[in-house]
Amino acid sequence: MKTTCIIDTYNQERFICEAIDSALSQEVLFDEILVVDDASTDGSREVLNDRYGSNPNVKLIYRPVNGGQLACIQTGVLEATGDICCFLDGDDCFHEQYLQHVLEHYQSNPDSTCAYVTCKAFDQMARRTFGKRGTQVTGITVGITLRGNTFVGAPTSCLSYRTDLLREIFPYPFLDDWIIRADDYLNGVSSILGAKKTFIDRELVHYRWHDQNNSWTMYKSLASYRRRLSLNRLRFYFAQNLTLDTESLNNELHREFATWANPSWQLLSWYLKAIFNGNQSFLRKIAQSASLLRHKLATVIKRGSHQAESLKHGKLLSSYGQCEDIDKKI
């Protein structure tokens, strides 16, 4: 199984070498590393040429015009030759065992089309830890994406996909909508296409928080409005292309929720909100909501039973160990 690492970068001269070196230093090596520079105006190009220009494991791709994060990612995807593509922003870093765990997952789970890990976010200036990001729950997410305004996934640097799925996600004609926050696009479209997503419960990415990657929050209201427009266009474009009846998805949200083996309470609230925002009759909404609650309570009871069984098993092992100690003393 061949692997590709796609690193997108724009004016990240300070960090890009650390990102590339983390991809090159994997215990299980990538088959190819594509670095896509989005027409940087700082010294990135000179740094890249000097450091990696003669490295056969790194392919440098320079976009002639700045197009934004999603344009960079699309360029990399269309150039990729691997069966699995892993993404890394130019200011983030991989743990040295990142690819080992991701590759093992895909090899042992042939039906999985998307895998994502969690990451440790930190402040470059103060070295401040923000904690884990991501989620541990997975399931079918077509309806909740199209009708619930909820995208299930992770930041870009935590995402990996089978390339066959990425060929369905790209190309996209409205790249300007995603100059930043390309992870929203990847998470959303993969869900609409029915991706089988899996969360790898390991902290394998270092997500850098600094003065250049959170500037969109300065204009939070405007950014939020533009994001809503972009999301609406994304949903409409793919729903039309896939001939999905988005209205009928409201009637199937309870069945979609049942595909989640361990749904969180927050996920339950998202599905309930999507149901009550739909056009079904009030009685239908009540019936669907009851179905959601039954499934959630069933998973809680099942998990509690497993925990009790594990605790019981642990006590038995402990007792057995004490008996062995007594026997030895006798």
Query: pLDDT tens, 111-160?
Result: 999 999 988 886 655 444 444 444 454 788 999 999 887 888 899 999 99
Determine whether 180 is exposed, middle or buried from the number of CB atoms within 10 Å of its CB (0-12, 13-18, 19+). Answer: middle
Q: Do 201 and 262 belong together in one domain? A: no
Q: Do 259 and 231 belong together in one domain? A: no
Q: Do 329 and 188 belong together in one domain? A: no
Which of 248, 287, 291, 292 minimizes the C-alpha distance to 270? 292
**8 A C-beta contact, residue 236 and residue 173:** no
Q: Do 253 and 229 belong together in one domain? A: no
As a dihedral over the C-alpha atoms of residue 13, residue 170, residue 204, residue 230, rounded to 10 degrees, the angle is 80
Strand partners, 162: 84
State which amino acid sits at residue 247.
Answer: E
Cis ω before 171 (30° cut-off from 0): yes
DSSP H helices in the chain: 16-24, 44-52, 69-79, 98-108, 142-148, 163-169, 182-192, 220-241, 253-257, 265-276, 282-329
Q: Pick from 237, 272, 295: which residue ends a domain?
A: 237
Q: pLDDT tens-digit profile of 60-70?
A: 999 999 999 99
Q: How far is CA 74 from the centre of its chain?
A: 16
- Coil, helix or strand for 207? strand
Length of the chain: 330
- Name the residue range of residue 226's domain: 3-237
- Is beta strand 197-209 parallel, antiparallel or unpaired with respect to 93-94? antiparallel
Q: Do 222 and 270 belong together in one domain? A: no
Q: Do 92 and 172 belong together in one domain? A: yes
Q: Do 297 and 193 belong together in one domain? A: no
Q: Do 257 and 224 belong together in one domain? A: no
Q: Do 198 and 290 belong together in one domain? A: no
Q: Do 158 and 278 belong together in one domain? A: no
Mean pLDDT on 169-177: 94
Mean pLDDT on 72-101: 97
| Residue 273 is assigned to a structural domain of this protein | yes
First to last CA, the chain: 57
Q: Do 162 and 216 belong together in one domain? A: yes
Whole-angstrom distance, CA of residue 292 vs CA of residue 249 = 15
**8 A C-beta contact, residue 279 and residue 299:** no
The first and second tokens of residue 264, run together, are 């969180």
| Residue 242 is assigned to a structural domain of this protein | no
Structure confidence at residue 325 (pLDDT): 43
Mean pLDDT on 301-310: 73
Q: What is the model's pTM?
A: 0.85
DSSP 239-255: HHHTT--TTGGGGGHHH
Q: Do 267 and 190 belong together in one domain? A: no
Which of 113, 236, 237 minimizes the C-alpha distance to 171? 237
Q: Pick from 213, 237, 261: which residue ends a domain?
A: 237
Q: Pick from 177, 204, 237: which residue ends a domain?
A: 237
- Coil, helix or strand for 218? helix
DSSP 98: H
Structure confidence at residue 137 (pLDDT): 47
Count of alpha carbons within 13 Å of 309, Cβ hemisphere only?
6
Q: pLDDT tens-digit profile of 94-114?
A: 999 999 999 999 999 999 999
Structure confidence at residue 310 (pLDDT): 59
| Residue 86 is assigned to a structural domain of this protein | yes
Whole-angstrom distance, CA of residue 284 vs CA of residue 164 = 38
Mean pLDDT on 304-330: 52
| Residue 144 is assigned to a structural domain of this protein | yes
Q: How many domains is the chain built from?
A: 2
> Is the dihedral angle over the CA atoms 127, 131, 135, 136 positive or is it negative?
positive
The first and second tokens of residue 322, run together, are 């004490």
